[in-house]
Amino acid sequence: MSFPKKALRLILLLGSMAGTALAGPQKPVRPPNVIVIFADDLGYGDLSCYGHPTIRTPHLDRMAAEGMRFTQFYVAAPVCSPSRAALLTGRLPVRNGMAGKQKVVLFPYSAGGLPTGEITIAKALKVAGYTTGIVGKWHLGHLPEYLPANHGFDYYFGIPYSNDMIPARNKSYPPMPLYKDSKVVEENPDQRGLTKRYTDEAVAFIRKNKDKPFFLYYPNNFPHEPLLVSDAYKGKSKRGLYGDVVAELDWSVGQVLKTLKEQGLDKNTLVIFTSDNGPTIQDVHRESGGSAGLLYEGKKTTYEGGMRVPAIAWWPGTVPASRTCEAVATTMDLFPTILNLAKARLPQDRELDGVDIYPVLTGKADKASDVVFYYNQTDLYAIRKGPWKIHFITRSSTGKEAGVVQDPPLLYQLEVDPSERFNVSKDNPAVVEELRKLYADHTRTVKPVPLQFDRMIENHAR
């Protein structure tokens, strides 16, 4: 038996009205928990679900199978500090001051840090009623005023910068501190135990805060070199020590997801896994650096290998499973996306560089913004719009030379040529013109701010 369409629609309408009347006032829906896991220097080609032939990452592969794997996901800078600042603020480093003319990141003798006037995801979510925690590498200023407690985090366990900034590497560096909240609880911790300790802290944070909305930012220090791993993973990977370290990181992600399932939080938690920049591929690092897969170059460059990173989104029931997403997206998109999910207010008094990618995450849209700005320190080196990428300046990660101005600029069609092999600028003068105009329009929106990386602690030997 079949109803005429109009009658069916009427029955459905009446039914839904009755449902509303019976249900009474709606219970407030609890906003989702959010976890961002950030690897350090993990390349686009370093996971098995991104094609690595001998590194095994079963937990991340399962996360991708249960969620969405991005193939065109970017960071805002090809090195640690500015990339992290952009993720947490949704703003380019040239806007939040996390850049330098001399220095590319913060060091143990730096006097600067993320300005406290910046609004981080943690700060915005705390106002919206979230409990906020960070476990791992901060690298946004180690002096007291810049520590996580002053950027909206209720809880901190970790080290304030990179794992190679240790006295064993540079005698002028102080002992590397391990923080619990704003107190140093240990110096020069044994890094072989770091991933295990971070995992325990992350799991404990989730368990402790399961009854109210939380935001957990988990930037692990690895696989940044020096590579250190616990005995349980040492010598296990065919890829060598680098593979061992990635396998332990993979285990750690698995523990986080397992905890969410055990606590019944999986259906109400968005988890994002990604990396802060591309792999170190300089000769000096030899086998201790990762792989950008089919992408050209690596860390410290604005080629794809430096700034396109693996990224997986997981939220069972909301993010569709087994989905490969080709939409262009960046870490700066997480700021508006997460704030909107938390019903937090988006700041209106500053330029934001991300867009809300919730429609992409839920599979309802296949595109958000398709523009990427590739900065190296304070200079805009390249721009992507749609499939086109133009390089105005290039710099290799292996040479020490400053940037080389490309005039005429280089143009690549990334959907056809992701490895940036064939310069097609001569054949596409209209595209070059359009991207030149975009360069001019964009740079007009960037106002000069104090640069944090070039400020040093006075009289510090280095």
- Separation CA 389–CA 447 (nearest Å): 24
Q: How far is the CB of 218 from Mg ion (least distance, A)?
A: 15
Q: Minimum CB separation from Mg ion for residue 217, in Å?
A: 15
Site for Mg ion in 392-431 (CB under 5 A): none
d(CA 374, CA 332): 13
The interface region with Mg ion, picked from 63-71, 87-95, 253-261, 271-279 by CB under 5 A, is: 271-279
Interface residue with Mg ion, options 276, 297, 353, 356 (CB under 5 A): 276
Cβ proximity to Mg ion: between 126 and 137 the closer is: 137
Q: Nearest 5°: CA angle at 82, between 275 and 218?
A: 40
Is 356 a binder of Mg ion (CB under 5 A)? Answer: no
The 8-class DSSP code of residue 110 comes to B
Among 36, 76, 80, 382, binds Mg ion (CB under 5 A): 80
Which positions are catalytic? 80, 139
Helix axes 58-65, 241-262, angle to 10 degrees: 50
How many residues contact Mg ion, by CB under 5 A? Answer: 5
Rule CB under 5 A: is residue 40 a binding residue for Mg ion? yes
Q: Which of 41/266 has CB closer to Mg ion?
A: 41
| Among positions 41, 201, 297, 353, the unique one binding Mg ion when judged by CB under 5 A | 41
| 194 Cβ neighbours under 8 A, 6+ residues apart | 163, 221, 222, 228
- Contact yes or no for 288/280 (Cβ under 8 A): yes
Q: Is 72 in the site for Mg ion (CB under 5 A)?
A: no
Distance between CA 217 and CA 133 in Å, rounded? 6
Q: What angle do CA 60, 62, 68 make, to 5 degrees?
A: 80
Structure-token pair, residue 207:
């368990």
**Residue 302 found at the interface with Mg ion (CB under 5 A):** no
Check binding of 46 to Mg ion (CB under 5 A). Answer: no
Stretch that binds Mg ion, among 77-85, 361-369, 383-391, 451-459 (CB under 5 A): 77-85
Does 277 contact Mg ion by CB under 5 A? yes
- Least distance in angstroms from the C-beta of 18 to Mg ion: 56
| Segment interacting with Mg ion, rule: CB under 5 A, options 75-83, 240-248, 262-270, 303-311 | 75-83
CB 299 within 8 A of CB 78: yes
Listed residue (85, 370, 102) closest to 94, CA to CA? 85
Contacting residues toward Mg ion, per CB under 5 A? 40-41, 80, 276-277
